[in-house]
Structures are given as C-alpha cells and as structure tokens.
Amino acid sequence: MSEPARELRTPVGDAEARRLLLEGDIDLEGRMLDASNVTLVGVVRTGELEAECVYKPVAGERPLWDFPDGTLAGREVSAALVSEATGWSVVPPTVLRDGPFGPGMVQLWVDGDPDVDLAAFVRSDHPGLRRMAVFDAVVNNADRKGGHIIPTSAGHVYGVDHGICFSSDPKLRTLLWRWAGKPLPLEALEVLERLADDLRGDLGDALHEHLTRREVRSTQQRVAELLRSQLHPEPSGEWPALPWPPF
C-alpha cells in the first residue's frame, strides 16, 4: 500500500517564504488582465511547502520611456531588499529566478482584508502607511496607487508593484502625502540611520546586482537628505505628485 500524500503547509516567516519562492516549482493558474505588464498568478510548491505567488517574467515587461528595458523585475527585487533592511516588511517576500516564461520576479501572494474600505484607509493615519511613505521616499516610488496598498486582516500593511522605483531623477508619485513636510517619527530616523550604513555595505552590494551605480548612489543621497531634513518630503512641483489612475 502506498503512503498517503504528505499535506503541504504554508511557509512560516519571510526567510522560509523566500526559500520556497526560490526553490519551488511554479504552477501557473491565471493572469491579472488589468496589469500593465504580464502578471501571472499561481502556486509555488516544494516537497513540504506551498503558497500562492505572483510571477512577472522579464519577457512580459512593457517598454517605458524613462526606465531601461528589462529592468523592472530587478527593481521589484531591489525594493524587497530595502524593505527587508528596514525591518518594516513593506514588500512581501520577493525573489528573482527562472520561471515558466524565463527569468522574472516571483513574489508571495498576500490576501488583503476584504472588510477594509481601501479608499478611506489610504487617507488614514495608520502607522503602516506612514512607514510606507518613508519607504517610498527612499526607493523613489513613481507609482504608489491605492491598489498597490494591501492592508491585511492581521493589521499589517503591504505594498506591491515596485517596478518603477529607483530612478536617479526625482519621481515620487503617491497617494501618501498626508505627512508631507511633517517631522519624521523617531522610529523612522533610527531606521534611516541603519539603512544609510547598510547602503554603504552589504545592501549596497546587493542592489548593485540589479541597479546602476548611479541609481544606488541616488538612493544613498535620498536617505542622507531625509536624515538631514528630518522631514517627510513634499511634492516638488516638477513631476505629477499623484499617480493616475489613483486606484
């Protein structure tokens, strides 16, 4: 008699989730048709773990006038690296790996809380949103739409879709201007101090695998400016402050 199939479990913690994303077999189940780039959803499995995931192959990236072709997946991974370094877990576990349609970004799928009114939530003073606003200033997020914000039933707030971050030019475009010009919280300043050190060391080395030297240097400069001003940034007036559509 054959042994019964072992029941797979979901990963515990971000480190185990990243291992699953890197090593698991991807079984695609569908495509998100409203995404501007090819965005596929499915399940990733190993012998003992499984989880839902998002897979964005480099081959499915739409060319952009202001970002080099074929770099969006690397920028998503770079955002995840910065997120991990902050300790805020703004970005779900994300890796760059080969997949069914070639190299691409693979990210853990996160379910949002269906009871949250997202339009009202993004105007709230939730601490997770404020951390996200600081994070977006660091990575120079050019597209923080409301639909890219995922509040979970556990109270954590995730952000997704970071393919157009890390430009060397100021491009911050977000719905999270609630704190513009206000002093940064002490917690954010402490995180930025650590981030500045990390960017001169291992984090900077890891980002160089996906970004240009100028883009990494610009990230260091944005962190330095936040620490100098100790203020949330304000719209520059030289670039649209709000994404369109906003959701």
| 71-115 tens-digit pLDDT | 999 999 999 999 999 999 999 999 999 999 999 999 999 999 999
Q: Is the pLDDT of residue 7 over 90?
A: no
Among 34-38, 69-73, 142-146, which stretch is predicted with the lowest mean pLDDT? Answer: 34-38
Element (H, E) at 138: helix 127-139
- In the predicted model, what is the mean pLDDT of residues 153-161? 96
* pLDDT tier at 1, thresholds 50, 70, 90: very low
pLDDT at residue number 145: 95
Report if residue 237 sits inside a domain: no
3 state DSSP class of 223: helix
Q: Which residue, among 210, 208, 21, has the nearest Cα to 98 in the 3D structure?
A: 21
Report if residue 211 sits inside a domain: yes
More confident residue, 137 or 2: 137
pLDDT at residue number 239: 82
Report if residue 56 sits inside a domain: yes
Q: How far apart are the first and last CA of the chain?
A: 54
Report if residue 185 sits inside a domain: yes
3 state DSSP class of 30: strand
For 169-221, write each residue's pLDDT tens digit.
Answer: 999 999 999 999 999 999 999 999 999 999 999 999 999 999 999 999 999 99
- In the predicted model, what is the mean pLDDT of residues 237-244? 86
Report if residue 17 sits inside a domain: yes
Q: Is the pLDDT of residue 5 over 80?
A: no
- In the predicted model, what is the mean pLDDT of residues 11-20? 93
* pLDDT tier at 36, thresholds 50, 70, 90: confident
Report the distance separating Cα 67 and Cα 46, nearest Å. Answer: 35
* pLDDT tier at 35, thresholds 50, 70, 90: confident
Q: Is the pLDDT of residue 23 over 50?
A: yes
Cis peptide before 245 (omega within 30 of 0): yes
Report the distance separating Cα 3 and Cα 133, nearest Å. Answer: 51
Report the distance separating Cα 99 and Cα 246, nearest Å. Answer: 31
3 state DSSP class of 84: helix
Q: Give the total number of structural domains in the chain.
A: 1
Q: Which residue, among 172, 105, 183, 96, has the nearest Cα to 141 in the 3D structure?
A: 172
* pLDDT tier at 240, thresholds 50, 70, 90: confident
3 state DSSP class of 203: helix
Q: Is the pLDDT of residue 137 over 70?
A: yes
Prediction pTM value:
0.94
Report if residue 203 sits inside a domain: yes
C-alpha gyration radius of the chain: 18
Q: Tokens 């994303």: give the residue.
A: 21
Instruction: Give the domain range for residue 137.
Output: 13-229
Report if residue 236 sits inside a domain: no
* pLDDT tier at 247, thresholds 50, 70, 90: confident
Report if residue 83 sits inside a domain: yes
Report the distance separating Cα 237 and Cα 172, nearest Å. Answer: 11
Looking at every residue in the chain, the average pLDDT score rounds to: 94
